[in-house]
Amino acid sequence: MANIKSAKKRVLIAERNRVRNVAFKTSIKTALKKVLELAKGEDAEALNAAISRAYQLCDKAVSKGVLHKNTAARKKSRLVLAVKRIQAAK
């Protein structure tokens, strides 16, 4: 660990931010998986709500600096394409 007081503080802050970022990314992954599961079912209203929630999480991650805006856009785009592919296969 660092010797300088400010460097020690930065180490602590970086760890706190890392934990928050990991938690945020995990919640996004969970939301995406939930959307894909709902896409296999018949409940269109629940599917739309889950897609909206996934979009909301991605946008919030961008505003907080957890994800780059292009990464969030790519995730949202791929999600909708996957849902359409699943529904077309039915």
In the DSSP assignment, the letter for residue 65 is T
Asked if residues 82 and 39 have their Cβ atoms less than 8 Å apart, the reply is yes
pLDDT by position in tens, the chain (length 90)? 678 999 999 999 999 999 999 999 999 999 999 999 999 998 999 999 999 999 999 999 999 999 999 999 999 999 999 999 999 987
DSSP class of residue 67 equals S
What pTM, to 2 d.p., does this model score? 0.87
